[in-house]
Chain A
Amino acid sequence: MGIHKIIILAFILVLHTEARPISYSGGTTLMYQSDSMSDSVYVHYSPTYKYSIGIENVDDKIFNKNKNYLRLTYLINRKNTDISQRNLYFQSGVLVDDADGFFYGIHGDWETRRWFSGFGYKDTNNSFGQDYTDQYIQLGVAPYVGDYGDLHTWIMIKTKKNSLTNTQSTYPELKFFKGAALVKFGYSDKTEWDLHFMYRF
């Protein structure tokens, strides 16, 4: 079964899957991401705990274009236990000025206060006919477990693959997290810097 069929099947299952919270109602999040393919600024708002809607400005370095996406992220499934949380999300976006340009995908994670694992798949359809996919897998460990409000540190390893540039790279990442702010950066000699910043209001 191809990945497209799996995603379509997952979407159909969503219709029958009980929704779990995505975040607290009324939360706004600012995200900035930069890597060898694009720089982006993304602001999203969660009207309820089930989903977030937002707008993302993307500076596409490959096609030298600036794009604005309307985005939706939806929590397909969440499993909470005493020590862990597991999530599966659907993500999508459509260009503000060109409905022929859109992306969709899924990403998931499982984490405790010590361990983290995650994956993602994204299919991007450009209006000018250059479609491509991004995939990643991520593993992480916290060298110490801090209390609420402390500086939290994660040491991670990420493998990502892009079908457009036909590159696959594996590299270490460091994530720092305190209060409402998170910053993460990794470096690979193939894809160079991968930066991520997030602030939740």
Chain B
Amino acid sequence: MKKILLTLLLASPLAWAEQDHANMHDHSHEGHLHDTMVDGKNLDVSAERFDTFMEGLADVNVAIVSVKGMVCDFCARGIEKTFTRDKSVQKIDVDLDNGKVMIAYSKTKEINFKEIEKQILSNGQNMSDLQVLEI
């Protein structure tokens, strides 16, 4: 009985797949480099951290991603690895304290909510919000 159970369990993960989009809020915002964006919503990261991130960058679009479940360096490292595979990513910053990830994309890259959501999910976390800034 135990062997049968074990065999079933060994095979079962291949049959299970899911995309959990529960608790996702499809927000996308465009704005400028200020604490407050043009739509009146506050920037999701501190101005100081954002300015440090922007040093040396030009002609980029920045995605500020709010992430749930990012509790350790392994999570952060996984997210870094996932996004740096994308050649249009110029720079990435993971803020574990506040659960934010800043990603600077080349201007030619169209930032896609669903694509980023999927990349975050592929690392084991959930995206809860996305802000996009055109610099």
Contacts and interface: CB of A to CB of B under 8 A. Distances in A.
A200 interface: yes
Contact of B71 (A21, A104, A113): A113
A142 to B, nearest CB: 10
A84 B69 contact: yes
A111 B82 contact: no
Interface in B52-93: 68-69, 71-79, 81-82
A152 interface: yes
Interface size range on A against B: 35 or more
A82 interface: yes
B124 A24 contact: yes
A51 B10 CA distance: 10
B48 interface: no
B122 interface: yes
A179 B82 CA distance: 16
A97 interface: no
Nearest to B22: A18
A78 B124 contact: yes
B71 to A, nearest CB: 5
A14 B99 CA distance: 29
Contacts, number: 121
Contacts of A48: 122
A22 B2 contact: no
Contact of B16 (A50, A78, A99): A50
B97 A145 contact: yes
A129 interface: no
B9 A148 contact: no
A147 interface: yes
B27 interface: no
A145 to B, nearest CB: 7
Most buried by A among B9, B17, B73, B78: B73
Interface in B5-29: 5-6, 8-10, 12-13, 16-18, 20
28 contacts: A8-B5, A15-B12, A19-B13, A20-B18, A20-B20, A21-B124, A21-B125, A22-B124, A23-B78, A24-B82, A49-B123, A74-B9, A74-B12, A78-B124, A80-B68, A85-B71, A94-B6, A102-B6, A104-B6, A125-B2, A145-B97, A177-B72, A177-B73, A178-B73, A179-B77, A180-B74, A180-B77, A200-B74
Given A18-B20, A49-B123, 17 more contacts: A8-B5, A14-B9, A19-B17, A21-B125, A23-B124, A24-B78, A74-B13, A80-B125, A82-B99, A84-B71, A85-B71, A92-B6, A92-B10, A113-B97, A147-B95, A147-B97, A177-B73
Interface of B: 2-3, 5-6, 8-10, 12-13, 16-18, 20, 68-69, 71-79, 81-82, 94-97, 99, 121-126, 128
